[in-house]
Structure 1
Amino acid sequence: MSAPFRFPRFFVTTPAPCPYLVGKTERKVFTELNGAHAAELNDALGRIGFRRSQNVAYRPSCIDCSACVSVRVITKEFQPNATQRRLLRRHQDLEVTACKPWTTQEQYDLLRRYLNARHPTGGMVEMDEHDFADMIEQSPVKTFVVEYREPSRGGRPGKLVGACLTDQQADGLSMIYSFFEPEDTARSGLGTYIILDHIVRAGRAGLPYVYLGYWVENSRRMAYKARFRPLEKLGPNGWRRFEPDQRELPLG
């Protein structure tokens, strides 16, 4: 007999400076994911805008701001634009593997290069090996680390140039966190390519969505998500299509 489902208890964090909008504070509501029904709960919460971090599901619950909007790509209808098609061709030689969520030194070294180059003042820059292991390995749901490597040579794996911590939910892939080689000019656009690859993977698996997390209209850091269409956003009346303004920013 399976364990009975227990309605989760929700908690609220202490307000803290917003990482996306200057002068704003953020507050989150969260609950633990544990027990036999953790995956079902995570699926249900994901459909109403929650994200997973280790064994916790959370979403913004700010008192005076609703700028953070959950967005997802409709995989069946997605058609890459000309720039995205070029990226798919440029990186088609990469060897992609969905690995079990166990950390490696190679992954951590890549994360450090990525954070130091792209987010030197961000909250994750102080992450050490133990923090990284917790982020990757503490998952109560179906989780993978999707690795992107240069072509293997002589039977030896190629260099790791990208990775993404990814949850497989009942209705899609949820991209928890991706990182990639930041200074390799021959591999420009890796961040975009990783998202494109997830859209292709979800489509092949018959999964209707790729969850991209939160989009903030006036945040430069979030603008890249507008490039993947058709997009849906979560609002008071559920998920609806929308057409955010695209900004001419360098490819990630």
Structure 2
Amino acid sequence: MTHHPQSSPQFYLTAPTLCPYLESQFERKIFAHLVDGKAAELNDHLSQSGFRRSQNIAYRPACETCHACISVRVLVKEFNRARSMQRVWLRNRNLISSAHKAQASTEQFTLFRRYVDARHRAGGMSDMGILEYAMMVEDTHVNTQVIEYRRRRPGPLTDKTSDGVLVAAALTDVMTDGLSMVYSFYDPDDRGTSLGTLMILDHINRAQALKLPYVYLGYWVEGSRKMQYKIRFTPQEHLGINGWERRG
């Protein structure tokens, strides 16, 4: 029998379930618990190996017949906005972004529910209540922030985030080599402003300011229209059998 030191993570495998991204496919995940004390270090190592965090669990796909999920991270130092992205940035000049500790609010939850009901009504979060939302945000043993985006009301510019209407938010882990966008959501009625793109651009700016080399975007799922936006942010790296490889 092989004995593992207690500091080594124990990995588990889920049973097959229907894939939420590709029809007629089943997904399985391998996961480990992020234990307090070693959680931040373990989360860093696992994220660099293609894992994602959900509360105090790190997971990655372990599907038997499909390998469409590809971990993606943006090369921050070399990133230059395309013209279309620069237009998005300028279009949202009246947005104020601010980082807060990982604490849920009723205002966030109201926006989250509107987003899920409009965009992911059949998804796994469709029946999430405020207590489950609070756990998603606050149940973390790593350095996690909530980045809020507020549309400033007309009038003199102030530094009070309460002077704007909350239109988007991102749950973000601050790691030793980058920012990991765990989950983000936005006002589905704020049309023509491309808030999803705006949040990624803002995270790239934040990583540059912190001198962090990467922004982790999670999984790009080849063949899924929902995930196509992720490969627009170049140059980036994809994790494959030979490690992280440059794309774009």
Q: Distance in 1 between matches of 2:178 and 2:147?
A: 15
Tell me what 2:24 maps to.
23
Name the amino acid aligned to 1:20. Y
Q: Which runs of structure 2 are paired with 1:57-206 in the superposition (5 Å)? A: 57-151=58-152, 156-185=162-191, 188-206=193-211
Are the equivalent residues in 2 in contact too, given 1:108–1:132 (CA < 8 A)?
yes
Q: Which runs of structure 2 are paired with 1:29-44 in the superposition (5 Å)? A: 29-44=30-45
Note the C-alpha offset of 1:123.
Answer: 1.3
Are the equivalent residues in 2 in contact too, given 1:5–1:37 (CA < 8 A)?
no
Note the C-alpha offset of 1:104.
Answer: 0.5
SS at match of 2:121: coil
Q: Deviations over 1:31-70 (max 9, x none)?
A: 0001311100000000000000000000000111111010
Q: Distance in 2 between matches of 1:120 and 1:6?
A: 40
SS at match of 1:207: coil
Q: Distance in 2 between matches of 1:150 and 1:219?
A: 31
Tell me what 1:216 maps to.
221
Name the amino acid aligned to 1:195. I
Residue from 201, 226, 245 that aligns with 1:240:
245
Name the amino acid aligned to 1:239. W
Structure 2 segments unaligned to the other structure (5+ residues): none
Note the C-alpha offset of 1:125.
Answer: 1.1
Aligned residues: 239
Q: Distance in 2 between matches of 1:79 and 1:184?
A: 25
Q: Distance in 2 between matches of 1:177 and 1:183?
A: 19
Note the C-alpha offset of 1:5.
Answer: 6.9
Are the equivalent residues in 1 in contact too, given 2:92–2:193 (CA < 8 A)?
no
Q: Distance in 1 between matches of 2:147 and 2:15?
A: 33
Q: Distance in 2 between matches of 1:93 and 1:205?
A: 23
| Identical-pair percentage | 51
Name the amino acid aligned to 1:158. G
Note the C-alpha offset of 1:150.
Answer: 1.5
Q: Deviations over 1:55-109 (max 9, x none)?
A: 0000000111111010000000000000100111111221111011111000000
Structure 1 segments of 4+ aligned residues over 4 angstroms from their partners: 152-156
The RMSD of aligned alpha carbons is 1.4
Q: Distance in 1 between matches of 2:196 and 2:202?
A: 10
Q: Distance in 2 between matches of 1:5 and 1:159?
A: 47
Note the C-alpha offset of 1:9.
Answer: 0.4
More displaced, 234-243 or 49-58? 234-243
Q: Deviations over 1:179-232 (max 9, x none)?
A: 0011123x5200100011001110111000000000011000100101100010
Name the amino acid aligned to 1:109. T
SS at match of 2:163: coil
Q: Distance in 2 between matches of 1:129 and 1:5?
A: 35
Tell me what 1:227 maps to.
232
Q: Deviations over 1:144-169 (max 9, x none)?
A: 00000022568642110000000001
Note the C-alpha offset of 1:25.
Answer: 0.3
TM-score (norm 1): 0.92
Are the equivalent residues in 2 in contact too, given 1:147–1:160 (CA < 8 A)?
yes
